[in-house]
Structure 1
Amino acid sequence: MDSITSTSLRRFAVLAAAVALAVTGCSSAGSGGDVAKNVVPTQDAEDNNPQPLEKIKDGGEFRPPLQQWITQWNPYQVDGRYGDAVEIMTYTQAQLFRTDAKGVFKPVPEYLVSAEVTSKSPQVVTYKLNPKAKWSDGKQLSAEDFKAVWKASNGKDPAYNIADSSGYEQISDVEQGADAQEVKVTFDKPYADWQNLFSPLLPASGISTPEAFNDGWVEKVPVWSGPFKIGNLDKTAQTITLVPNPEWWGPKPKLDKITYRVLASSAITQAFLNNEVDYASAGTATAYGQLKDAKDGVIRTGTPWDEVHISFGGNGPLADRTVRQALTKALDRAALIKIVNQGVPVEFKPLGNHLYMTNQSGYQDNSGDWAKSDPAKAKELLEQAGWKEPAAGQPRTKDGVALDLHYVLSDGSTQAQTDMATAVQSMLQQVGVKLTLDKVPSKEYFAKYVNQGKFDLASWRNTGSFPLSSGVANYRAPQGDNVFGNYSKLATPEIDTLLRTAAGTLDRAEADKLYNQADAKIWELAHTLELYQRPSIVAVRKGLANFGASSLASTDITKVGWEK
């Protein structure tokens, strides 16, 4: 199923869930029919038509779709976490590291000569910058840029409306090292995933004041330092154009233009068939059925960090953990997955962990009994919470109030998403819970509902939440008005402590143990019912090289192009 997505900035500096709409056309569960589950997605390699540079043309245009217009371009700011925006920013800003197909970080030589832990007590990371690296205003990358990101993102000044402080709040100092190309970052508490910080790096000139940080990147990218720059932002035509940065000091990009076009979710498949875009999701019955034999198209599959879940709100009746636990027992997860897995050739595998994907080292299924459907137990828990069933077919009541919940769903939802929500409604009705499906405008789904915690149930995707500390923001306790990525605001001191301790544990085996302990507690909290790890199933225009279905690797945009 293609669904609403919330992208965590795995290898980027912001660790919280980024808000993205990645919805494409989908049929009802039955209308697409089922197909044999005979495609096994690529896991430890990229299904992206890898080609050496000498086999790629110089020039050409790549035309990807966008799900929504990008307003806030600062990925450290709470409203700048739309996944495609963050991806574009890594093409136009200093992307210090890339990950390979196994999720291993590698320094990007155009920015970093080296980066390593040079002291463990306290933890000190020393970055040696490429002296050629500079911003579009002519200034070299320096310690001042690192310091500005840290001071804005460490959570000490509430005027900076940040996405997440994880990692930055553990830093005690940022200073210049032996020369202008050396940066030393000192941590007062160990932070294992330090490579996930400061990327993409932004210039001090653009984020050093709260006003610049919050408002200086709205509808514009004032400074850049990547292989591409913004060529044009045409809000009327709903297109965003990237062109090569003429001052770029690295390998010249193969493409001479990337044109993003904002399209309604239901229009992307047809746009690909009409040769208007070069990339489209094929993860639904209708989309796969239409795209698998598309002229000049090819299907590519992969296993990225990508999960689909149902989140529970933390208000009203759902403030009671026992009620949330009852909902998890009332839902038949296998049946819900089957609904959305119709018509595509890849099996959607149930996910037993909130923090790890099935192809990550350290994954274990911690769901226990919480993911096992048991309507009788659900009824027992509801009775225990004081919700009595007055008569067959009627919702339960407590103190004269009916147990009436709302499932918030975007009006851009696919038919499969609607079918799944309807199935949830029916399952909850069987245990005496009335569930109303509220369709809201897709453009307001996150901003006015999910981000504000105004839902009882809602479903979206979290993508790219690795390394492990990237997922911390989704479950950590809110601080004041800042909920990070924990939109339901459900948290416990125990989970918080386990997650923070794990993020500061340099021994990977010990960190895995702590993260899994935290995950077991997240299941018990009934914060989120994990459904499945979503494979990447995409249609790509034939001849497009070094781009396709991702696993855990970053895209090197300079190598993307068209075969000769």
Structure 2
Amino acid sequence: MAVVAPGRRSSGRRIPRALFAATACALLVAGCGSGGSGAGGTATSAAPALSATDTNPQPLSDVRDGGELRLPLQQWISQWNPYQVDGTYGDSVEIMKMVEPMLFRVDASGVYQPVPEYLESAKLVSTSPQVVDYKLNPKAKWSDGKALSYLDFKAVWQADNGQNPAYDAASNAGYDQIGDVSQGADPTEVRVTFSTPYADWQSLFYPLLPAAGIATPDEFNKGWIERIPITGGAFKLGTTDKTAQTITVVPDPAWWGTRPKLDKFTYRVLSQDAITQAFLNNEIDEASAGRADAYSQLKGDSDAVIRSASPWDDVHISLGSNGPLADQRVRQAIGEALDRQALIKVMNAGVPVQFKELGNHFLMTNQVGYQDNSGPWGAYDLASAKQLLTAAGWQEAGAGQSRTKDGQKLELHFVVGQGSAQSTFDLATATQNMLLQAGIKVDVDRVPDNDLDDKYINTGNFDLATWRNTGSFPPSTAIPYYQEPVGNNVFENYSRLSTPEIDSLLKQAASTLDQAQSLKLYNEADAKIWELGHTIELYQRPGIAAFRKGLANYGESGLADTDYTTVGWQK
């Protein structure tokens, strides 16, 4: 759920849900380092140009050994398990990808590449049934000394396949299509057999977690709170200081691969406004520049370089399902009463890269298969919105007044974190003004940032809220946002809105190995989600951030994963 910086995450490609509330911008998960020369100066960074990636790629021979990378966080991390429903905060997922096995790493073109420190190979050996064989690197071990094995794959599958509701899994997409996980020819081989085809199989086990840490529901749900019990990556947690709100990540001396360049990553919880100032004060080495106020300050820092790329990053307004919003017509009316183009202009003002209106919940504007499915539900039509509300029984009470029904006023609450960027409050205020024209009164409720997820978003205690979903690639990883809740498990569908038809279309899409047909099904489901009045997509947010000069192999990575072992400072 990241609030900005929150990196990305999802279930398959574990995406993070970037909680846009406390920040309306940049993907800032790791990126800060010491070694900068300080803020200030009169030089101005060049205006950014969108590209696939913008990370200052450098050969390891040109990167110094040692040093620190100082990273901003927007909220304290409590749940570290990225598969657990409360563990979807983007920054925590990104850190978990540093300390746990990443079997694959996505490149700049969105293609999965095996990571040799963990995989010698991974092959689709049969299509009927679908069978995938993984050949593990025999050197790969967990911090408790056990070798990686099929037992770890099996534990992740059993925790996430939805068969045991005691596991509070964020998503079962893909895992519920696996029929068996077993050992192959020897202990280094893993065979995964699917009961129904799953096109995005490479997005599973991302990252891999140890069986010893998730074997029971209690371990899965509670064993990763405020701790990471077992690691298996190039890094491990160094220190966590909840009072000081700091976390460090350091190289693990037991790592069998190439030693990381940096000595330490230091994360510190900061509000969005504090992040900008901290960068200018040379206290951190990365800061979001996706807002006008931030960009205007950061572009003039002589020790900064602005980097920008096109990631999977959507900004939207989610609708709740309680009270008046239980009526689909009211939700649809909200969609028609909002002028999305005007809202985008509010967020884009002063930012040098144009925000592209987004009409799809699964695909970005630069992805194959993208089409705008918003139809009438994303088109500004105030007259139609009023008609829907009247049909739903909400009667007009005069200009600037709340509509009424059975003596009740039509009043909703837009929940926003107190530490949110001003642009987020501007978005909420513009939404408030637009909806009042239709007779819907909206109160903008400022709540403590650390309560935003646990007490409001995760519990469905909101009428309107805004956050970012980031890194939801491939499209199956976005399914948890829209699938039907099962009992108390809402997956990542915090609106708690879905239909059997949407569920069916999404399952078919994820099971179709033919890409063209799969994309057709995703687009059909997307049109139904627009009609449902679940989420009002606004725009695809470019990754725009300021980085300390000299930071190598790190920046705005677009669709690609970061190899944190190569990140460091140029010689």
TM above 0.5, yes or no, is yes
Instruction: Give the C-alpha shift of residue 20 in structure 1.
Output: 4.5
Q: Structure 1 residues 560 and 326 mapped into 2: Cα distance closer, same or farther (>3 Å)?
A: same
The residue aligned with 1:258 is 265
The residue aligned with 1:395 is 402
The residue aligned with 2:388 is 381
Instruction: Give the C-alpha shift of residue 456 in structure 1.
Output: 1.2
Counterpart residue identity of residue 393, structure 1 = G
Separation (CA, whole Å) in 1 of partners of 2:340 and 2:561: 31
The residue aligned with 1:278 is 285
Q: Structure 1 residues 82 and 455 mapped into 2: Cα distance closer, same or farther (>3 Å)?
A: same
The residue aligned with 1:98 is 105
Instruction: Give the C-alpha shift of residue 161 in structure 1.
Output: 1.7
Q: Structure 1 residues 413 and 70 mapped into 2: Cα distance closer, same or farther (>3 Å)?
A: same
The counterpart of 1:41, out of the listed 21, 46, 50, is: 50
Instruction: Give the C-alpha shift of residue 236 in structure 1.
Output: 2.3
Instruction: Give the C-alpha shift of residue 369 in structure 1.
Output: 2.3
Instruction: Give the C-alpha shift of residue 15 in structure 1.
Output: 4.7
Aligned counterparts, 1:82-481, within 5 A: 82-481=89-488
The counterpart of 2:67, out of the listed 60, 64, 81, is: 60
Counterpart residue identity of residue 500, structure 1 = K
Contact 1:73/1:86, CA 8 A, preserved across alignment: yes
Q: Structure 1 residues 24 and 380 mapped into 2: Cα distance closer, same or farther (>3 Å)?
A: closer
Unaligned runs of 5+ in 2: 26-45
The residue aligned with 2:22 is 23
Number of equivalent positions = 550
Contact 1:305/1:552, CA 8 A, preserved across alignment: yes
Instruction: Give the C-alpha shift of residue 550 in structure 1.
Output: 2.0
Separation (CA, whole Å) in 2 of partners of 1:4 and 1:314: 25
The residue aligned with 1:9 is 9
Q: Structure 1 residues 333 and 498 mapped into 2: Cα distance closer, same or farther (>3 Å)?
A: same
Contact 2:235/2:249, CA 8 A, preserved across alignment: yes
Instruction: Give the C-alpha shift of residue 237 in structure 1.
Output: 2.1
Contact 1:5/1:463, CA 8 A, preserved across alignment: no
Separation (CA, whole Å) in 1 of partners of 2:417 and 2:455: 11
Separation (CA, whole Å) in 1 of partners of 2:554 and 2:414: 36
Instruction: Give the C-alpha shift of residue 373 in structure 1.
Output: 0.9
Q: Secondary structure at the match of 2:507?
A: helix
Instruction: Give the C-alpha shift of residue 219 in structure 1.
Output: 1.4
CA deviation profile, 1:485-505 (whole Å, cap 9, x unmatched): 111111111111111100011
Separation (CA, whole Å) in 1 of partners of 2:108 and 2:128: 32
The residue aligned with 2:42 is none
Separation (CA, whole Å) in 2 of partners of 1:252 and 1:285: 39
Q: Which ranges of 4 or more aligned residues in structure 1 deviate by more than 6 Å?
A: none
Instruction: Give the C-alpha shift of residue 23 in structure 1.
Output: 3.2
- Give me the TM-score of the superposition, normalised by structure 2: 0.93
Instruction: Give the C-alpha shift of residue 9 in structure 1.
Output: 2.5
Q: Secondary structure at the match of 2:546?
A: strand
Separation (CA, whole Å) in 2 of partners of 1:241 and 1:40: 32
Contact 1:408/1:439, CA 8 A, preserved across alignment: yes
What percentage of residue pairs aligned between the two structures are identical?
62
Q: Structure 1 residues 120 and 427 mapped into 2: Cα distance closer, same or farther (>3 Å)?
A: same
The residue aligned with 2:39 is none
- Give me the TM-score of the superposition, normalised by structure 1: 0.94
The residue aligned with 1:559 is 566
Unaligned runs of 5+ in 1: 27-36
CA deviation profile, 1:232-277 (whole Å, cap 9, x unmatched): 1122222211111111111111111111112222211111111111
Separation (CA, whole Å) in 2 of partners of 1:543 and 1:504: 45
Q: Structure 1 residues 75 and 120 mapped into 2: Cα distance closer, same or farther (>3 Å)?
A: same
Q: Secondary structure at the match of 1:558?
A: coil
Pick which of 276-285 and 13-22 moved more.
13-22
